[in-house]
Amino acid sequence: MTKNTAPTIPAAYVAAAPSVDAAILAPMIDTFRPALRAAFAAVNGKADSFTLTSLDAMSAAVDAEKALATKGVPKAMRAGTHYTVSSAGPSANAYKHGAIGTRFTLRRNTKGDWSLVSVERITVHPKQPGREYLTVTPAARDAIVRKALDGIAVHAEQQVAA
Protein backbone atom coordinates (compact mmCIF):
# COMPACT_ATOMS: atom_id res chain seq x y z
CA MET A 1 0.00 0.00 0.00
CA THR A 2 1.49 3.33 -0.95
CA LYS A 3 1.05 6.42 1.15
CA ASN A 4 -1.15 8.16 -1.43
CA THR A 5 -3.53 5.25 -1.92
CA ALA A 6 -3.89 4.10 1.69
CA PRO A 7 -7.55 3.84 2.71
CA THR A 8 -8.27 6.51 5.31
CA ILE A 9 -10.83 6.83 8.08
CA PRO A 10 -11.56 10.57 8.27
CA ALA A 11 -11.28 12.57 11.49
CA ALA A 12 -14.92 13.66 11.12
CA TYR A 13 -16.03 10.02 11.35
CA VAL A 14 -13.74 9.28 14.29
CA ALA A 15 -15.08 12.28 16.21
CA ALA A 16 -18.73 11.60 15.41
CA ALA A 17 -18.91 7.79 15.58
CA PRO A 18 -19.21 7.36 19.36
CA SER A 19 -22.23 9.65 19.68
CA VAL A 20 -23.96 9.93 16.30
CA ASP A 21 -26.42 7.38 14.91
CA ALA A 22 -24.94 5.14 12.20
CA ALA A 23 -27.77 6.06 9.80
CA ILE A 24 -26.67 9.70 9.93
CA LEU A 25 -23.05 8.70 9.31
CA ALA A 26 -23.93 6.38 6.39
CA PRO A 27 -23.21 8.91 3.61
CA MET A 28 -19.77 9.62 5.10
CA ILE A 29 -19.04 5.92 5.60
CA ASP A 30 -19.92 5.26 1.96
CA THR A 31 -17.06 7.56 0.89
CA PHE A 32 -14.25 5.67 2.66
CA ARG A 33 -15.43 2.17 3.57
CA PRO A 34 -15.24 0.60 0.06
CA ALA A 35 -11.47 1.16 -0.07
CA LEU A 36 -11.05 -0.31 3.43
CA ARG A 37 -13.27 -3.26 2.53
CA ALA A 38 -11.21 -3.96 -0.60
CA ALA A 39 -7.92 -3.89 1.34
CA PHE A 40 -9.21 -6.43 3.88
CA ALA A 41 -10.85 -8.61 1.22
CA ALA A 42 -7.56 -8.82 -0.68
CA VAL A 43 -5.83 -10.19 2.42
CA ASN A 44 -8.59 -12.29 4.00
CA GLY A 45 -9.85 -13.95 0.83
CA LYS A 46 -12.68 -16.31 1.77
CA ALA A 47 -11.53 -16.70 5.39
CA ASP A 48 -13.87 -15.06 7.88
CA SER A 49 -13.94 -16.97 11.18
CA PHE A 50 -10.87 -15.39 12.83
CA THR A 51 -10.17 -12.47 10.52
CA LEU A 52 -10.63 -8.75 11.05
CA THR A 53 -12.61 -6.52 8.69
CA SER A 54 -13.07 -2.91 7.68
CA LEU A 55 -15.57 -2.53 10.54
CA ASP A 56 -12.86 -3.58 12.98
CA ALA A 57 -10.53 -0.93 11.52
CA MET A 58 -13.22 1.73 11.84
CA SER A 59 -13.84 0.76 15.47
CA ALA A 60 -10.10 0.66 16.15
CA ALA A 61 -9.65 4.24 14.91
CA VAL A 62 -12.36 5.43 17.31
CA ASP A 63 -10.90 3.33 20.16
CA ALA A 64 -7.36 4.61 19.56
CA GLU A 65 -8.48 8.23 19.56
CA LYS A 66 -10.39 7.64 22.79
CA ALA A 67 -7.39 5.89 24.39
CA LEU A 68 -5.09 8.76 23.50
CA ALA A 69 -7.52 11.27 25.01
CA THR A 70 -7.93 9.16 28.17
CA LYS A 71 -4.15 8.89 28.54
CA GLY A 72 -3.83 12.68 28.37
CA VAL A 73 -2.31 13.11 24.92
CA PRO A 74 -3.34 16.49 23.44
CA LYS A 75 -4.67 16.37 19.88
CA ALA A 76 -1.62 18.29 18.65
CA MET A 77 0.65 15.46 19.87
CA ARG A 78 -1.33 12.52 18.47
CA ALA A 79 0.04 12.66 14.92
CA GLY A 80 2.34 9.77 14.09
CA THR A 81 0.64 7.36 16.47
CA HIS A 82 0.30 3.81 15.18
CA TYR A 83 -2.42 1.46 16.42
CA THR A 84 -1.93 -2.22 15.61
CA VAL A 85 -4.65 -4.84 16.06
CA SER A 86 -4.30 -8.62 15.63
CA SER A 87 -7.16 -11.11 15.60
CA ALA A 88 -7.64 -13.77 18.23
CA GLY A 89 -7.36 -17.48 17.60
CA PRO A 90 -10.02 -20.17 18.03
CA SER A 91 -11.44 -20.44 21.55
CA ALA A 92 -11.60 -24.26 21.47
CA ASN A 93 -8.52 -26.36 22.15
CA ALA A 94 -10.01 -28.99 19.86
CA TYR A 95 -9.00 -26.81 16.91
CA LYS A 96 -5.78 -28.65 16.00
CA HIS A 97 -4.24 -26.39 13.36
CA GLY A 98 -3.47 -22.74 12.91
CA ALA A 99 -6.23 -20.62 11.42
CA ILE A 100 -6.15 -17.59 9.15
CA GLY A 101 -6.24 -14.33 11.06
CA THR A 102 -5.55 -10.68 10.30
CA ARG A 103 -3.27 -7.95 11.62
CA PHE A 104 -3.59 -4.32 10.62
CA THR A 105 -1.96 -1.03 11.54
CA LEU A 106 -3.53 2.41 11.42
CA ARG A 107 -1.54 5.66 11.52
CA ARG A 108 -2.90 9.01 12.68
CA ASN A 109 -2.02 12.16 10.78
CA THR A 110 -2.04 15.80 11.96
CA LYS A 111 -5.66 16.28 10.83
CA GLY A 112 -6.93 13.37 12.94
CA ASP A 113 -7.44 10.96 10.03
CA TRP A 114 -6.40 7.33 10.54
CA SER A 115 -4.83 5.69 7.47
CA LEU A 116 -4.50 1.95 6.96
CA VAL A 117 -0.73 1.53 6.61
CA SER A 118 -0.72 -2.25 6.58
CA VAL A 119 -3.06 -5.21 6.60
CA GLU A 120 -1.69 -8.72 6.53
CA ARG A 121 -2.71 -12.33 6.88
CA ILE A 122 -1.39 -14.05 10.01
CA THR A 123 -1.75 -17.50 11.52
CA VAL A 124 -3.61 -17.66 14.83
CA HIS A 125 -3.63 -20.62 17.20
CA PRO A 126 -6.14 -22.00 19.72
CA LYS A 127 -6.58 -19.78 22.80
CA GLN A 128 -4.33 -17.09 21.31
CA PRO A 129 -5.68 -13.73 22.46
CA GLY A 130 -6.21 -10.83 20.11
CA ARG A 131 -3.75 -8.00 20.58
CA GLU A 132 -4.01 -4.23 20.40
CA TYR A 133 -1.20 -1.80 21.00
CA LEU A 134 -0.37 1.85 20.51
CA THR A 135 3.00 3.13 19.36
CA VAL A 136 3.35 6.82 20.15
CA THR A 137 5.86 9.59 19.53
CA PRO A 138 8.21 10.72 22.31
CA ALA A 139 6.09 13.87 22.83
CA ALA A 140 2.93 11.76 23.26
CA ARG A 141 4.78 9.44 25.64
CA ASP A 142 5.82 12.43 27.74
CA ALA A 143 2.21 13.63 27.90
CA ILE A 144 1.10 10.16 29.04
CA VAL A 145 3.76 10.13 31.78
CA ARG A 146 2.77 13.64 32.93
CA LYS A 147 -0.86 12.55 33.27
CA ALA A 148 0.10 9.33 35.06
CA LEU A 149 2.23 11.26 37.55
CA ASP A 150 -0.28 14.06 38.10
CA GLY A 151 -0.76 14.48 41.85
CA ILE A 152 2.25 12.32 42.75
CA ALA A 153 5.29 13.76 44.49
CA VAL A 154 8.69 12.13 44.88
CA HIS A 155 10.64 12.27 48.17
CA ALA A 156 13.73 14.43 48.01
CA GLU A 157 15.83 11.63 49.53
CA GLN A 158 15.28 7.95 49.78
CA GLN A 159 13.92 6.68 53.08
CA VAL A 160 15.15 3.39 54.48
CA ALA A 161 12.39 1.25 55.94
CA ALA A 162 12.92 0.47 59.64
Count of structural domains, the chain? 1
**Does 60 reside within a domain?**
yes
* Residue span of the structural domain in which 136 resides: 3-147
CA-nearest of 64, 55, 47 to 124 is 47
**Does 78 reside within a domain?**
yes
Q: Phi and psi for 59 in degrees, rounded to 5?
A: -65, -40
What does each of the 162 residues of the chain score in pLDDT, given as a tens digit? 544 578 999 999 999 988 888 888 999 999 999 999 999 999 999 999 999 999 999 999 999 999 999 999 999 999 999 999 999 998 887 777 889 999 999 999 999 999 999 999 999 999 899 999 999 999 999 999 999 999 998 888 766 665
**Does 94 reside within a domain?**
yes
Cα separations in angstroms, 138 against 60, 61, 93, 109: 22, 20, 41, 15
